[in-house]
Homo-oligomer: A and B are copies of this chain.
Amino acid sequence: MTQRIKGVLSPVVTPFKADLSPDPQRFVAICKWLLSQNCGLAVFGTNSEANSLATDERLMMFDALIAAGLDPSRMMPGTGCCSITETVKLTSHAVKAGCAGVLMLPPFYYKGVTEEGLFRHYSEVIQRVGDSRLRIYTYHIPPVAVVGITPGLIERLLKAYPTAVAGMKDSSGDWNNTRTFLDAFAKSGFDVFVGSESFLLANMRNGGVGTISATANVNPAAIDKLYREWKNPDAEQQQAKLNVTRETFGKKYLMIGALKAGIAIYANDPGWAKVRPPLLELTAEQKKTLEAELKAIGFTMPGLKRADAVTA
């Protein structure tokens, strides 16, 4: 068995062309840059607007990465849809391509569903994919999906599918919740990623394996540095500095619009700012303020280039 993926992963923001179609050229370019920063590719996450894409659009964008020669062992695509059939389609595709794992939302349309119902959903998916290489990271993000992952569900899944169920991403924003999962399952090899690098140091100190965080789209090297150096004496300082950058992107603006605006600024490529409805781009005023604030904290994205310069 190959080693599990760990460390820092980015829920890669999805670029759109002027007509709102997904843009494989810009996508390949940002993914190459992220890999160059030692950042894994959790493509098709919440920050990727994955649920604003059709299944076919996700497949097309994924295939563009593979066609460009990017390493699937550094990828953990999001594949959890409301339907078993679409979840299986995306998951099988990722597993066959050699991905390190998949990040799997629970079915999120019906609210108040039972643990038994969610267990059956994940079971059905695992059995249909039917591939010993499958590694599922369950995705707990109650502020968005509302439907969440409970310790009881993980206990049942680990018992039934100890190889396929590899870990989770906890985007609850609640350290007590992360701690509960770490205490219950980390020792048995269940890999917990925190959904924000603001919990990275705490996660590493308590048996976690890294972070899959929005801000890894723009600040991957510094987050990876803390991941590697969390035992160093300056770890708290590194954590504090990461938090400042995260707050600059996340506090006043909706994160996704801000991340894309940041990339647009630092790649000198205004087209990057585009989002699909129902999300909104930053306003011109917000972009200006963001740019000034980023400059004020000395933020940079070293090595980032326009997509047409990368592929040229």
Contact = CB atoms under 8 A, between A and B. Distances in A.
Contacts of A116: 280
A54 interface: yes
A119 B113 CA distance: 30
Identical subunits present:
2
A123 to B, nearest CB: 8
Interface string A87-123: 0010000000000000000111111011011101101
A55 B55 contact: yes
Contacts of A121: 277-278
B86 A54 contact: yes
A24 to B, nearest CB: 15
Nearest to A22: B85
Interface residues of A, number: 40
Contacts of A82: 51-52
Contact of A55 (B54, B108, B117, B280): B54
Interface stretch (A143-151, A177-185, A219-227, A264-272): A143-151
Chain B CB count within 10 A is highest, among A20, A82, A120, for: A82
A142 to B, nearest CB: 10
Interface string A58-89: 00000000000000000000000011111001
- 5 cross-chain pairs, A with B, having the tightest CB-CB distances, nearest first: A117-B278, A120-B277, A51-B109, A121-B277, A113-B278
7 contacts: A51-B82, A52-B82, A52-B107, A54-B86, A84-B276, A117-B277, A147-B278
